[in-house]
Structure 1
Amino acid sequence: MTANGLRTFMLLAGMTAFFMGIGYLLGGPAGAMLALVVAAGMNLFAWWNSADMVLRMHGAREITPSETHPALRQYALDVQHLAQRADLPPPRVFVIETDQPNAFATGRDPSHAAVAATTGLLARLNREEVQGVMAHELAHVKNRDTLTMTVTATLAGAIGMLANFALFFGGNNRAGLIGSIALAIFAPMAAMLVQSAISRAREYEADRIGAQIMGKPMALASALEKIERSARQTLNPAAERNPATAHMFIINPLNGRNMDNLFSTHPDTANRIAKLREMAGAAAPVQSGPWAPRGPWG
């Protein structure tokens, strides 16, 4: 097992242990065992159904060979070409009908991967920038981040529900009323910390490998700047309903959560752009503003 794989295993094991700890506080040894069974079942379910589960949450539509929209056909063809360059099996390609520019990848392994971009991303970015974003997502697939990120989202959501369950039943458990309130407050925060630990480092690595796949770091840098600026001004209703999946997107889709702090699921976008500029050896500012090229729908 690689160092990255071992670190991921330890984080997920710690999250499962934390889930069991909450179960113990609620129901003693029997509660801990029940939590372990539930966590194992959820991990298995997430492993087998990770792609379809997340895609359904966000209302994604698959782009098939019969697609008639020229921009969508071109987007799908570009993804297939980038997958070839990355030495990956061709992923399933999806589009999400939402005005917020964003994208994510999912799937249990490279042979069962899927990538999705929003209509807002295709409208606001030019073709090279879209390619840069999709190369980033394919880097997640190549690094096998997609399964880890989906399982983490599943466990984080389950911990939040279990904490609310503890608060609902108040003092009718081993934790007592005060303990239940503390669980309801701190358990979701702990889950967010684990999500952050997994996600933030992986975003930098996916930026680096994605830029290598495409060969143009500044295309991704320009895309990140445009996505960050628009995402802060545009609501993503599906992401707001499913906040546990926020760490899967290239930019945090939750409106207003753009601070690079302890609980942020993403590194600061300016820092990511700076690293990409270093890769490109470019000192010029990233192209932006109303004069920048628009996407095929723009």
Structure 2
Amino acid sequence: MRTRFPPDRGLTARMLLTTFLLGLVYAVFVAVLLVLLKSVFVVVVIAGGLLAAQYFFSDRIALASMGAQVVGPEQEPRLHAVLDRLCAAADMPKPRVAVADTDLPNAFATGRNTRRAVVCVTTGLLRRLDNTELEGVLSHELSHIAHRDVVVMTIASFLGVLAGLVARFSLYSGMMGQGRRNGDQVVLVVLLVTAVSVVVYGISFLLVRALSRYRELAADTAGAMVTGRPSALASALTKVSGELSRIPTRDLRSVEAFNAFFFAPALGSRVMSLLSTHPSLEVRLDRLAKLSTDLGEPAR
């Protein structure tokens, strides 16, 4: 898809590197499984089925999980008007528009291609942002669509799903005594497969999280370049992050599964930045401030 969103060669390089590393880990993983298990085909089929369902129905699953509804211009004229301007400026097809009725201020984009793409915002976000801030958020989300981030992240996370399934499958099989040769061999096989699965899952998890953080920075930059107003996006980030801190933790945890896709994370990692789906607010604001200076943007 050709758009006016600036190409991000750094993002492309990191995607390729992450895909290569995940593929390398996957090759080693499969080789070990072929030695240790005779029923790996079943596990791969299950994991492949889950990946296919996530790939083909990601938009429906996401909207249903958030309780969001696709809306037309007559229902949300302000939202559609902002998207119309942005899509014209970016020279890209307009995605479907959805609204989730929740006070949680956030937004996300999903869909496997431009035809299936949908941008979803919450009523909480619409109430809190002015038009320039809303434009900054929507431009960020359109960048995700232009760069096919949803597809990349879905495929990249497949290995982690597969490793997790194998760990459970091998453990349950061992506990139920399936494939029994003798007691010691069964225990050894279960321990080895589980250990390999945990290691592979850990490596793939960290790689995917690193890619997720970079794609958020890339979307900030590309979105701000299209609008020409990095300060508006920075203002939206500051406002949304501040409002999220006032939302009860119980409510935030109910949407934690969407963290990787949200404009701003509902819950950040309290352990270390390596586990976070998003860069810190400080890093994002610093990048946008530098971009604002580079563009010669007047102060808001």
How far did residue 77 of structure 1 move? 2.1
For residue 89 of structure 1, report the CA deviation from its aligned partner.
0.7
Question: What is the CA distance between 1:195 and its match in structure 2?
Answer: 2.5
Q: Is the 8 A contact 2:157 2:204 kept in 1?
A: no
**Which residue in the other structure is 1:275 paired with?**
287
Q: 2:71 aligns with which of 52, 63, 76?
A: 63
Aligned residue for 2:39, secondary structure, equals helix
Other structure's SS at 2:108 match:
strand
- The 1:273/1:210 distance shift into structure 2, 3 A limit, reads same
Instruction: Report the alpha carbon displacement of residue 176 of structure 1 after superposing the two structures with TM.
Output: 5.8
Task: Tell me if structure 1 keeps the 8 A contact 2:104–2:124.
Answer: yes
SS of 2:98's equivalent in the other structure is strand
Matched with 1:115 is 119
From 52, 71, 77, the counterpart of 1:73: 77
Aligned: 1:85 with 2:89: yes
AA aligned opposite 1:228: S
| Partners of 2:51 and 2:154 within 8 A in 1 | no
Matched, 1:194 2:211: no
Q: The residue matched to 1:111 in structure 2 has which SS?
A: coil
2:220, 2:288 within 8 Å by CA — same for their partners in 1? yes
1:262 aligns with 2:274: yes
User: Which stretch shifts more, 179-188 or 227-236?
Assistant: 179-188
Check 1:253–1:175 CA distance in 2 against 1; reply closer, same or farther (3 A cut).
farther
Distance 1:81 1:206, change over 3 A: same
1:54 paired residue number = 62
Match of 2:145 among 128, 137, 141: 141
Shift of 1:265: 0.9
Deviation of residue 217 (structure 1)?
Answer: 0.6
Distance, in Å, in 1 between the alignment partners of 2:30 and 2:198 is 17
Query: Compared with structure 1, are the counterparts of its residues 154 and 203 closer, same or farther at alpha carbon in structure 2 (3 Å cutoff)?
Result: same
Specify the code of the residue in structure 2 equivalent to 1:13: G
Scaled by the length of structure 1, the TM-score of the pair is 0.77
Q: How many residues align?
A: 279
Residue 232 (structure 1) aligned to one of 238, 245, 255: 245
Q: 1:252 aligns with which of 245, 255, 265?
A: 265
Report the alpha carbon displacement of residue 242 of structure 1 after superposing the two structures with TM: 6.2
* 2:20 pairs with 1:7: no
Q: Is the 8 A contact 1:51 1:113 kept in 2?
A: yes
User: 1:204: Cα distance to partner?
Assistant: 0.9
TM-score normalised to structure 2 length: 0.76
Amino acid at match of 2:284: R
Deviations 1:227-256 (A, max 9, x none): 2222233258787356454211121123x5
RMSD over equivalenced CA pairs, Å: 3.6
CA distance in 2, matches of 1:9, 1:60: 32
Asked if residue 220 in structure 1 is aligned to residue 224 in structure 2, the reply is: no
C-alpha contact 2:43 2:166 (8 A) present in aligned 1: no
Aligned to 1:31: 39
Question: Which has more radius of gyration?
Answer: 2
CA contact (8 A) 2:43 2:165 kept: no
Q: Residue 33 of structure 1 aligns to which amino acid in structure 2?
A: F
Query: For 1:201 and 1:84, how far apart are their aligned partners in 2?
Result: 26
- Matched residues in 2 for 1:222 and 1:108: separation? 30
8 Å CA contact 1:16–1:36 kept in 2: the answer is no
Task: List runs of 5+ in structure 1 lacking aligned partners.
Answer: 288-298
Aligned residues of 1:170 and 1:180 also touching (Cα < 8 A): no
CA contact (8 A) 2:14 2:211 kept: no
Gaps of 5+ in 2: 1-8, 178-185
SS at match of 1:247: coil
Structure 1 counterpart of 2:273, one-letter code: N
Conserved? CA contact 1:109–1:141, under 8 Å: yes
**1:131 positional shift:** 0.8
Contact 2:213 2:279 in 1 (8 A): yes
Identity %: 33
Assess if the C-alpha contact under 8 Å between 1:60 and 1:116 holds in 2: yes
CA drift of 1:278 comes to 0.8
- Letter paired with 2:50: M
- Residue 43 of structure 1 and its aligned partner are, at CA, apart by 3.1
